[in-house]
Structure 1
Amino acid sequence: MKKGILLSILCLGVSCSAPCPTTSNLLPMYGKQPKCAEQLAADQEFLDLSDKQYATRRIASAHYAQVGWGLFYDKQLDAAMKRFNQAWLLDSTNAEPYWGFANILGMKQQFRSSISLFRKYLTMNPTQAKAWAGLGTSYGQLFFQTKKAAFLESSIIATKQCVKLDPTYGEGYAQLAAGYAYYMQKDSAKKYLAIADKLNPVLVHPEARQMIRN
């Protein structure tokens, strides 16, 4: 008997479904993968429980995003991803999960994917300076990987928006100093180095500092 015919017979009267994707909760938005019946049932159980525990799903989503940030800063990236996914499942209009996803992917050196999520977050919350800095960092890392000047230019544009929104954010000026050092624009690099040093003299990487001074 052919394998395909045997499979058809075995599926008669029985629900034959694809295996459950085991890593989907470690991907942003569950990897946008179709879920198996077991996972859909677990999602519904989670949503029903949240509906009992919180006044609204928006409030529940904010709570799970906050838990996700705590895990992220504790460097528990997989656990953080799971909580951000739950926050997204509860309320996909909550901007915080997208920022969380972007940061986690950046930490995992998945810079191209992180950029799209930073941009998704920033369309929803364009005044968050640190998110602009994160976007600039991902573009900067792509520049180091590819040596394509367009990525460095995008990094500088994003980071300038960061310090425009928060002129006290020293890491942004340090990032600009390094960016202009690689851009071979020493005057701009020295300008941002001076501002960064005034805010915190240890922020600029020694290699970038040496490039600026040479």
Structure 2
Amino acid sequence: MAFFSLSTRTLLSAAFFTLLSAAACLPAHAQRNKKNAPAAAATGPARLAPLYGGASPAQAQALVGTTVLADIDRSFPSRAEASKFFSTKGFQYMLENQPDTAAVRFNLAWVLDVKNPDPYHGFAALMSQRQVPPAEVQAILLQGLAVAPTNAGLLTDATTIAIERYLQTKKKKDLAEAASYAQRAVLADANNANAWQAQARVRYYQEDYAGAWEAIHKGQSLNLSSLDFTLISDLKDKLPDPQGKFR
């Protein structure tokens, strides 16, 4: 089954717009200087590979170069803030269909702050667009969860990857793993609509159709754009919407 089956594409791209809204929250100096913001100096395949192809943070900093890092340090009050700026730019480039430029920005964001969850999420989305095998996407997400274990976005993406694996293997352990990630996601952020839609997908495959509807309605109440109408259509065939909102 293709990696974009069901709602994988929907889930991994839905957060683009949420993250892009963060651009409005960037400090004024960063907004003013964004056209002149330094770009990564690294060249060749490494700068396009997720997290510099397995390089350590120190090795990655060497790839970026001291000149670029010094320019960034002068342009931003902290590297953590610079990391947020460049990860947001990465999502913007993805939306503009410039995946290579997006990869460079995500890598730079990671170098600047390995605890920023957005580069991991960005590479998961980018790799999903490129139909990279789920196991490789999961490896990136696990690295992100190692530094941000309660990040609802990463947990939601991990749910999606586990569901994709379940659809391929039909193994109960994969569905159980998806359920665990989904539960952690809603516990981490009960106001994350995508987390509730991921919960709905898990419950659908668990044949808990009433529970799936409950999760769908919860997500709908938080953000209409989170709705997965393919899932809703499939769910209606199993159980009509108890609230009668989807006919």
Normalised by the length of structure 1, the TM-score is 0.70
Identity %: 23
CA distance, structure 1, for counterparts of residue 143 and residue 161 of structure 2:
14
Offset, 1:31: 0.7
Using the TM superposition, give the Cα deviation of residue 183 of structure 1 relative to its aligned residue in structure 2, in angstroms.
Answer: 2.4
Q: Which amino acid aligns with 1:79?
A: T
Task: Count residues with an aligned counterpart.
Answer: 191
Amino acid at match of 1:71: Y
Matched, 1:150 2:176: no
**Aligned match of 2:146:** 123
Counterpart check, 1:212 vs 2:234: no
| Alpha-carbon contact 1:170-1:203 (below 8 Å) kept | no
Q: Is residue 206 of structure 2 the alignment partner of residue 203 of structure 1?
A: no
- Superposition misfits of 4+ residues, deviation over 6 angstroms: none
Deviation track 1:106-133 (CA, whole Å, cap 9, x = no partner) reads 3333322222222322332333322221
Q: For 1:70, what is the secondary structure of its paired residue? A: helix
Is residue 129 of structure 2 the alignment partner of residue 107 of structure 1?
yes
**2:162 paired residue number:** 139
Residue pairs, 1:165-180, within 5 angstroms = 165-180=188-203
Distance in 2 of aligned mates of 1:170 and 1:56: 31
**Contact 2:121/2:153, CA 8 A, preserved across alignment:** no
User: Structure 1 residues 169 and 82 mapped into 2: Cα distance closer, same or farther (>3 Å)?
Assistant: same
Distance 1:32 1:171 in 2: 29
- RMSD (CA atoms): 3.3
Structure 1 residues 148, 91: closer, same or farther in 2, change over 3 A? same
> Amino acid of the residue matched to residue 32 of structure 1?
G
Q: 1:179 to 1:90 in 2, by over 3 A?
A: closer
User: For 1:1-214, what aligned pairs fall within 5 Å after superposition?
Assistant: 22-32=44-54, 43-110=65-132, 111-196=134-219, 200=224, 202-204=227-229, 205-213=231-239
Shift of 1:146: 2.8
Q: Judging changes above 3 Å, is the alpha-carbon distance between structure 1 residues 178 and 27 closer, same or farther for their aligned structure 2 residues?
A: same
Structure showing greater Rg? 1
SS of the residue aligned with 2:123?
helix
Unmatched runs of 5 consecutive residues or more in structure 2: 1-41, 241-247
2:207 aligned partner, one-letter code: M
User: Residue 178 of structure 2: SS of its match in structure 1?
Assistant: helix
Higher RCO, 1 vs 2 (CA within 8 Å, ≥6 residues apart): 2
Distance 2:76 2:217 in 1: 49
> Per-residue displacement from partner, 1:11-69 (whole Å, max 9, x unpaired)?
xxxxxxxxx983222211211369xxxx9576333223324433443343332222223
User: d(CA) in 2 for partners of 1:196 and 1:61?
Assistant: 29
Aligned-residue offset at 1:98? 2.4
Q: Is the 8 A contact 2:197 2:227 kept in 1?
A: no
Change (3 A) 1:169 1:41: closer
Aligned equivalents of 2:182 and 2:204: distance in 1? 14
The amino acid of 1:173's aligned partner reads W
Going from structure 1 to structure 2, the CA distance change for 1:78 and 1:33 (only over 3 Å counts) comes to: same
TM-score for both structures, normalised by structure 2: 0.62
Deviation, structure 1 residue 187: 4.4
